[in-house]
């Protein structure tokens, strides 16, 4: 969620972390293996990053930058580049939304209850593919679809129980 917010918001320079796994050994709140570096060969050289058939990484590498949600938010950032930050909405707690001009819209539910609102997206009318729950492939959406009306508003419903309780749509995700 934080990475999606960072990539959607126009402030500053963004960096996406990609990392590796190690065996953790927590003793008195301290990881005794915090000295471990990236996966390496016996000569100390860093191992190459193997890409699995499902596009994940293997051999101890995590590769967060390849996760659908993050990869698609990088595309979102590219689509909305140069667009103004606008149409801010919040519920006074932990639900927010904003648009990036007429090119992109993000809504986040970080509350312990459902978000069910009609929100101003700033986008032209049409049906858009949410690039968090899925992506646009061959003109079809593999995730949720968001219908934006002629007034630029959309009815958004996000359960707090969802794996990814946020939605992102942009001009290139229009169906």
- Paired tokens of 4: 């999606």
Residue 19 reports pLDDT greater than 90: no
Range 122-147 average pLDDT: 97
CA angle 71/73/78 to nearest 5° reads 100
- Paired tokens of 11: 């402030």
Whole-structure pTM value: 0.85
Q: What is the pLDDT of residue 65?
A: 82
- Paired tokens of 162: 């969802």
Range 93-120 average pLDDT: 99
Residue 33 reports pLDDT greater than 90: no
Helix (H, G, I), strand (E, B), or coil: what is residue 87?
A: strand
Q: Where are the domains of the chain?
A: 83-173
Please state, in angstroms and rounded to a whole number, the distance separating the CA atoms of residues 122 and 101: 6
Residues pairing with 167 in the sheet = 107
Tens digits of residue pLDDT in 58-88: 888 888 887 889 999 999 999 999 999 999 9
Q: What fold does the segment set 83-173 form as a domain?
A: Immunoglobulin-like (2.60.40)
Residue 10 reports pLDDT greater than 90: yes
Place of tokens 């979102």: 76
């Amino acid at each position: 969620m934080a990475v999606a917010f960072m990539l959607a918001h126009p402030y500053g320079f963004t960096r996406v972390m990609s990392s590796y796994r190690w065996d953790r050994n927590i003793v008195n709140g301290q990881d005794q293996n915090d000295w471990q570096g990236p996966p390496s060969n016996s000569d100390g050289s860093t191992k190459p990053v193997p890409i699995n058939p499902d596009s994940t990484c293997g051999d101890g590498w995590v590769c967060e930058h390849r996760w659908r949600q993050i990869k698609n938010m990088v595309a979102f950032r590219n689509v909305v580049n140069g667009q103004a930050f606008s149409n801010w909405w919040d519920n006074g707690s932990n639900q927010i939304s904003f648009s990036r001009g007429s090119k992109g819209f993000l809504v986040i539910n970080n509350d312990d209850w459902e978000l069910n609102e009609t929100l101003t997206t700033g986008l032209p009318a049409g049906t858009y593919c949410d690039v968090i729950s899925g992506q646009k492939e061959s003109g079809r959406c593999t995730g949720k679809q968001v219908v934006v009306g002629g007034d630029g508003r959309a009815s958004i419903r996000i359960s707090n129980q969802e794996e990814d309780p946020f939605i992102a749509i942009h001009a290139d995700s229009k169906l």
